[in-house]
Amino acid sequence: MNMNFRHIVFSIFLLFVGTSAWAQSERAQINPFSQELLIGEQTRVELNVSAGANETIIWPEYGDTITSQIEIVESHPVDTIFEDSITKQNIIGFQKQWVITSFDSGLWAFPETTVWIDSIPFTTNPFLLSVNTIEVDTAKGFVDIVEPIEIPMTFWEYVQAYYHYPLIGIALIFALAIIAYIIGRNGKAEETKAPKIIIPAHITALERLDKLKNAELWQQGKAKEYHIQVSDIVRGYIEDRYKIPVLESTTDEIKHLLKGVRMEKSIRKEIIESLRLSDLVKFAKATPLSHENEDCLALAYKLVDQTKIVEQPQNTNDAE
């Protein structure tokens, strides 16, 4: 769509919304952080409701999409707004946020949103979301994607990322001290329970990978389900192997967390690229090539093989 034409449509839309805004209640207002995005870019939308603590609010419910062109990436829980944010006294309202994106270029309308306060509906005004594409010079050949420049972590970033490990160690020391005190006071320890069998992370991951390989999902046209499982297996192995929270983390957050573990830079880079491909299949509805599907599974096997922990058998000398 021509940009000038978009601006004309946008101006007409704002004029229409402005003339109808008088009929809308200020008790429910929706505010986008940005109304112009590049395709695939994300922005936040917040819905503010003026209400007291004793009023009953029914919030709008969305699935994975707002409209066929506007998708929901993340839905945040409702936050409380206080008159004094420090003392947290006198509730004056509530706020709900969504992270949205669009993979279709064009000028899309974010529809009216209705909130019910004590069984009375209050409707927000719609707004336009302009999604633009990146112009590509087809006369030039394709080049490799340039990776972001890696900046070394600062001391404060290390503290924020790994502060919980010392706390776990202190808690463990206290727990051991309490156990030792109880055992010493009673004169004997309670009967020990059978030790829990811990299955190594690489054994679990390899079993899941073999099962996925035999299922032949992408060969049956189930590429999205296939990449979801590959991503879950890789994330689960990394979390179990390195004890870092990656199951609920984004790909960029995983890349940041992996900087603090012992892993070859090449395999770390390949894993991030594989996770990004899975994100495109899951969220952007991309259709990977056959060799890309095979490469993702092969890379998962490679990750497990190169980073698994294998206990070495102890050397014993037979008595002569």
**Structural domains for the chain:** 3-16+23-132 (2.60.40.10), 155-186+200-307 (no CATH)
Quickly list H helices, the chain.
Answer: 3-20, 155-162, 164-186, 201-215, 223-242, 251-258, 265-283, 290-307
Confidence of residue 318 (pLDDT cuts 50, 70, 90): very low
Work out the burial of residue 153: count CB atoms within 10 Å of its CB; fewer than 13 is exposed, 13-18 middle, 19 or more buried: middle
Q: Is the pLDDT of residue 311 over 80?
A: no
Q: What integer pLDDT is reported at residue 309 of this predicted model?
A: 83
Supply the pLDDT for residue 181.
85
Question: Exposure of 246 by Cβ count < 10 A (0-12 exposed, 13-18 middle, 19+ buried)?
Answer: buried
Asked if residue 95 has pLDDT above 90, the reply is yes
Question: Does residue 304 contact residue 205 with C-beta atoms inside 8 Å?
Answer: yes
> Closest Cα partner for 269 from 159, 157, 141, 145?
145
Lowest mean pLDDT among 73-82, 179-188, 215-224: 179-188
pLDDT of residue 146: 67
Burial classification of residue 194, based on how many CB atoms lie within 10 Å of its CB (0-12 exposed, 13-18 middle, 19 or more buried): exposed
Q: How confident is the model at residue 98 (pLDDT cuts 50, 70, 90)?
A: very high
Q: What share of the chain is helix, strand, coil (3-state, %, to 5)?
A: 40, 20, 40
What pLDDT, on a 0 to 100 scale, did the predictor assign at position 248?
86
Share of the chain above pLDDT 90, in %: 36
CA 124, CA 47: separation in Å to the nearest integer?
A: 9
The answer to whether 279 and 271 are in contact (CB under 8 A) is: no
Give mean pLDDT, residues 25-49: 91
CB atoms within 10 A of CB 125: 18
24 confidence band (pLDDT: 50, 70, 90):
very low
The per-residue pLDDT of the chain, averaged, comes to 83
- Please state whether beta strands 28-32 and 79-84 pair in parallel, antiparallel, or not at all (unpaired): unpaired
Q: Is it the case that residue 210 has pLDDT exceeding 90?
A: yes
Would you say the pTM of this structure is higher than 0.75?
no
Query: Which residues, other chains included, contact 48 with Cβ-Cβ below 8 Å and sequence gap of 6+?
Result: 28, 29, 30, 31, 81, 93, 94, 95
Confidence of residue 22 (pLDDT cuts 50, 70, 90): very low
Give residue 60's Cα distance to chain centre.
22
The predicted structure's pLDDT at residue 142: 62
CB 242 within 8 A of CB 261: yes
Mean pLDDT within 99-114: 93
Least trusted range by pLDDT, from 2-6, 76-80, 127-131: 2-6
Which token pair is 172? 């463990």
In angstroms, rounded to a whole number, what is the distance separating the alpha carbons of residues 94 and 79?
6
Phi, psi of 249 (to 5 degrees): -95, 155
pLDDT higher than 50, residue 320? no
Residue 23 is predicted with a pLDDT of 40
Task: State how far the Cα of 23 lies from the Cα of 278, in Å rounded to an integer.
Answer: 45
- Judged against a pLDDT cut of 90, whether residue 268 lies above it is answered with no
Q: Please report which confidence band the pLDDT of residue 153 belongs to, taking 50, 70 and 90 as the band edges.
A: confident
pLDDT band at 32 (very low <50, low <70, confident <90, very high): very high
Mean pLDDT for 229-243 is 90
Strand-pair partners of 45: 32, 98
Q: In terms of residues, how long is the chain?
A: 320
